[in-house]
Structure formats: structure tokens, C-alpha cells
Amino acid sequence: MDVTPYLDLKIAPRAVFDTLAERRTRPRFMLPTPDGDWRSVTWGAFAEQIRRATLFLAGAELLSGDRAAIFAPNSVEWISAAMAIQSAGGVMVPIYPANTAAQAAYVAQHSDARVLFVDTPALLGRVLEAWPAYQGVRKIVILGEATDPAKVHEELRAKGKSVPPFADVEARCVSWTRAQSLGAAQDRADPSAFSKLLDAVSLDQPGLMLYTSGTSGDPKGVPLTHRNVAINGRDWLSCNAPLIDEGSVDLLWLPMSHIFGLGEACLGNTLGFTTYLCDPMSVMDRLPLVRPNVFMSVPSVWEKLAAASAGDSPEERTRKLARVSGGRLKFCLSGGAGLKREVKEFFHACGILIIEGYGLTETSPTLTLNRPDSFRFDSVGKPLPSVELRLAEDGEILAKGPNVFAGYHKDPTATRDIFTHDGWLKTGDVGRWTDDGFLQIVDRKKDILVTAGGKNVAPQNIELKFQDDPFISHLVVYGDGKRFLTAGVWLNQATVDAHLAGAGVHPEARAEATRALVQSRLDKVNALLASYETLKRFGVMEPALSIESGHLTPTLKVRRKRVYETFRTHFEALYS
């Protein structure tokens, strides 16, 4: 498609309002109904939600530059609130729905949020449990009609939880319906008020502040200006134009609280998508029904689709993939973690290219991308047009560009540490260039293990060699202070089961066959390592690592210290 009309830099809400005249009556979102059907939300209704919420926020004295947080699962109200915060000149701060009460409270307090949008009884309950941290929040907007603050408060009291007097809660809470009503009244009183607010927002002021998940320590606030994000979006569109069409259909299940999911929603606002919303549990069932042209996902769903499309011939695999995916996929993007090379090759053999790149929250977020006409599955692509990359003497990837943030919120020490003396952002990743200009990630600079023999080992360097392994979901290296290294292995059980069934392994022999299979994968990698880096023993561990258990960050990175703490007995047993 010709993306020229979309290359002007503008704040994100403009994408909705600048095209409203032609899109007003078309469906912007499709929402699942209890009877299995879909309910549409038009562009006009979506814009009206944003407009009214913006005026409500202005009436609640959210000033330009103030932060407002959203702690809720995906919904139309979520993205409407996000666009309203930015339209009012505020800074939108997403809080991951998977966050604990303490984690959510930290973000709200550290960000100095003045308004909080929250949904579901469970998440409101987490707010009430950490109430003292929300003293700076002037208004709490309850997004869902099914979330009753009085009922949530009473249930927490019945469980013996420490909660504030309900009068304190009630004084600050307002329903989304009431907020919309108040905004509509403001609109009637001054029909020009919304346009004045929108026109006053500068590209160079922060519009978004994301918190880095961090594998240890408190998360850090990353303020991004509208210009940071808009330039990155322009580069992104220019690179992917051959595979994206205006008015496409997408199935959005990624959390909007993550920049990946938010980015998909904003792309849809720009290009006029009809977006079907669904939750992570139903995405596999929804795909063949919705039949999207655009699909974005973390690796786990791509792996499930590949496993469900296994067959004896290319034709059979292509046919099965079309059946489970709906058969209309054109633009596919994988992010959040590295996708196994076997999966990328599987899709490509079926006629579908999965685009993958590399970036950081601090870079708005993309630094490199594989392109439809220029890609290598053993790389993270080439730098975006506005991005400069170079390698430090130790191989660390350094970045510069208008998409790079200026510094962490209220953390000058961390800001100083992440930049070189001459202003390059230190990514913490070690890379190398291929002869044809593609970037490969080969190491991480963090989490060094020191063996009993005094050898320094970067565990990620070893773990990365397993990221393309179809049988292993996660592998964590262990051995600080030990004579040799070992590994905890979490299996991709569906793939293992399919492999063993295909090999005709009898059920009684599957445990032994599974260990032999894993050992063969380790042997293959060990052959590439220095002797002190080799994995001498392993343990197949359960349960699976997840965000909910605290072993993965909301962006699917392994929390190494937490994994070590939980599974330490199992790791130590490998040395007995």
C-alpha cells in the first residue's frame, strides 16, 4: 500500500479524528457477545467516548504533563481512556493487569498518577489493598459496569483484608458512564473545548510512560514523547508497507498495557482496521472464525499454530494452517521474545512471512526489523531509517535516533548509566553484523555466573542457543560457584508429545524417551560451547513458567532470580 498519507508526524489521537468524516459509520471494534456473536462499535461511537473522556479529565483538572494510569484488561474503554489522556495533554501510564497489588501500587505512586482508570473486581481489589499508595490519585474511574466498589470493599473486609473506610473510596470513585456524562455536559457547554485541548498538545511533550519489567529491582518509568513514538511508527510503516492494507481485519488479544498491544491498536486507528477483540484463552478458537488479514502475537501462539498444522507434506501443512488461522493472513508480526527459527521457516514454507525485529521500551520501541523484501531468519533485521546503531568494543549494541527516550522518570542515576558519555543508548545486548548488514543478537551483558573454577559465563549466551529449539519452551542455566553448569528445562509438551507419537514411542517408554530427546538437544549445543560452558546435567521441571507465577515478566522475560528461588532444590539436586 502507499503509506505516504500516513507519514506526517502527529499525536496518536489525531489518527481517529482526522479521518472521522469518512469512517464514522464503519465498525472500528467487534466485541464478542455471550451468545457467540459479535457486537460492533463504530468509529463515531469510539471517537465520542474519547471526546467525552477527554473533557471529563479536563474538568477533573488533569493538567498538561500530568500522569494518568490505566489498570485494566483490554476493552474499547481502555483504548478510549488512553487516547483521552493524551488528547487532554496528559501522560498515559499503563499498568499490567498481571501485576500484584504491590507492583501496581508502585507504578501508580512512582509515576505520580493523578487519575486511575481501573476495571474488574479483582484489580480494584488490588488497589484497595494498597490504598495508602494511591493518596496522590484524585479520581478513580471504574471502566466496567460490573465492577461495584461497594461489593469489592465488602468482600475484602470479609476476608480480613486491611481496607480504607468505604466513604474514602466512594469519594474518589466515578463510573465510566458518569465520567462520559460529565464530559458530554462539558461538550455542550463549550463545543470548541475538545479541539482546543487537542491543538494544544505538542509532539515534544511526553504522551506515554511505560515501566520496564526488569529482571530484578523496581521497574523504571520510561517517558516517551509523542515525537519519539510517531517517528518510530513512521519508520515502521515505511518498512512494512508491502504487507499491510488499509481497512484490514485484525484479531487483537495482546495486552494494550504492553507497547506491542498498544502499538497494534494505534496501527488500527491509523489504517482504519476493523479490530476483533478477544482474550488470550480464546485466540486459537477465534482465529478461524474471524479470518484476520493482520495478526500479531508473542511466540507461544505461533508455535501452537505450527503444531496444529503439522503434516506429512507441504500441501497438507499449508492446508491445515489455512484452516486453523482462517486462511487470510497477510501481515504477521512476532514480538515480546525470540521466535524459534523452525517456526518462522514452517510458516514461510506455507507462504506466510512472519516479521520479527528488535528493540527496547526506551527506543519507542523498535530499532531493527526484517522487511518483506529483505529478511534473514537468523537475525533481527536491519536498522530502521531513523535509527543509528553501532557496536561498542565489547560488542554491546549502542543506539541513537529521534525515537530514543531522554531519561528515566525520577532516576538520574539510571539515566546516566544507560547512556555513553557521547549520548549513545546502551542496550545491554551484545550483537554482531552479518556481511549483508543484518543484526544478530549473540549475547546479553547481564547476569554473569562465576564458576568454582573462576570462569565467567553469561547464561543468556547459552540459553539463546535453545531459543529455536521446538521441544524446549524455556531453559535456565544454573551454576554460580559450582564446579560445572546445569540446566532447568521446561518442555514444549505439545511438540514433544507429537514427536514421540510420530516415532511410535509406547506410553510406558515416554519418560525415558523424553529425557533422551532433551539430552540430544543439549549435546548439540554443548558441541558449540567451551568446555566450561557445557551443560553437564539437566532436570525437566514443572510447573511451566508464567507471568502469573512471577517467573516471567509481563514482557515474557525470565526472572532468573525468582526461578532460582523457586526451583533451587531441584537445581541443587543436580549436583548430588
Q: Specify if 35 maps to a domain.
A: no
Give the whole-angstrom CA distance, residue 237 versus residue 260: 15
Q: Specify if 280 maps to a domain.
A: yes
Residues 238 and 178 in one domain: no
Secondary structure string (H, E, C) spanning 352-402? CCEEEEEECHHHCCEEEECECCECCCCCCCEECCCCEEEECCCCEEEEECC
- pLDDT at res. 213: 60
Q: Mind listing the pLDDT tens digit for each residue in 462-484?
A: 998 998 899 999 999 999 888 89
In this model, does residue 4 exceed pLDDT 70?
Answer: yes
- pLDDT at res. 362: 96
- pLDDT at res. 215: 46
Number of folded domains in the chain? Answer: 3
Residues 458 and 426 in one domain: no
| Mean pLDDT, rounded, for 247-270 | 96
Q: Specify if 57 maps to a domain.
A: yes
Return the percentage of the chain with pLDDT > 70, whole number: 98
Residues 293 and 437 in one domain: yes
Q: Mind listing the pLDDT tens digit for each residue in 275-284?
A: 999 998 999 9
CATH number at residue 555: 3.30.300.30
In this model, does residue 447 exceed pLDDT 80?
Answer: no
In this model, does residue 266 exceed pLDDT 90?
Answer: yes
DSSP 276: E
Residues 302 and 336 in one domain: yes
- pLDDT at res. 195: 98
Q: Which of 443, 473, 493 lies at the terminal end of a domain, its last residue?
A: 443
Boundaries of domain holding 18: 11-22+42-201
Q: Specify if 37 maps to a domain.
A: no
Q: Specify if 78 maps to a domain.
A: yes
Residues 428 and 323 in one domain: yes
Indicate the range of 137-151, 332-346, 360-374, 562-576 predicted with least confidence: 332-346
Q: Mind listing the pLDDT tens digit for each residue in 506-518?
A: 999 999 999 999 9
What is residue 311's three-state secondary structure?
coil
Residues 121 and 190 in one domain: yes
In this model, does residue 530 exceed pLDDT 80?
Answer: no
The full DSSP string for 62-107 is --TT-EEEEES-S-HHHHHHHHHHHHTT-EEEEE-TT--HHHHHHH
CATH number at residue 280: 3.40.50.12780
Residues 422 and 546 in one domain: no
Beta-bridge mates of residue 116: 69, 140
Residue 453 pLDDT grade (very low, low, confident, very high; cuts 50, 70, 90): low
Q: Mind listing the pLDDT tens digit for each residue in 55-107?
A: 999 999 999 999 999 999 999 999 999 999 999 999 999 998 888 898 899 99
Q: Which of 443, 467, 495 lies at the terminal end of a domain, its last residue?
A: 443
Residues 46 and 193 in one domain: yes
DSSP 507: G
Look over the chain and give the mean of its residue pLDDT values, rounded to a whole number: 94
pTM of the predicted model, to two decimals?
Answer: 0.84
- pLDDT at res. 529: 84
Q: Which of 378, 412, 443 lies at the terminal end of a domain, its last residue?
A: 443
Residues 379 and 431 in one domain: yes
Write the single-letter amino acid at 22: E
Q: Specify if 125 maps to a domain.
A: yes
Residues 555 and 435 in one domain: no
- pLDDT at res. 271: 97
- pLDDT at res. 528: 85
Q: Specify if 34 maps to a domain.
A: no
Give the whole-angstrom CA distance, residue 39 versus residue 33: 6
Q: Specify if 212 maps to a domain.
A: no
Residues 342 and 460 in one domain: no
In this model, does residue 214 exceed pLDDT 90?
Answer: no
Q: Are strands 439-444 and 535-540 parallel, antiparallel or unpaired?
A: unpaired
| Mean pLDDT, rounded, for 403-417 | 96
Residues 56 and 191 in one domain: yes
Indicate the range of 154-163, 209-218, 285-294, 339-348 predicted with least confidence: 209-218
Q: Is the dihedral of CA 115, 119, 124, 127 positive or negative?
A: negative
Beta-bridge mates of residue 40: 30
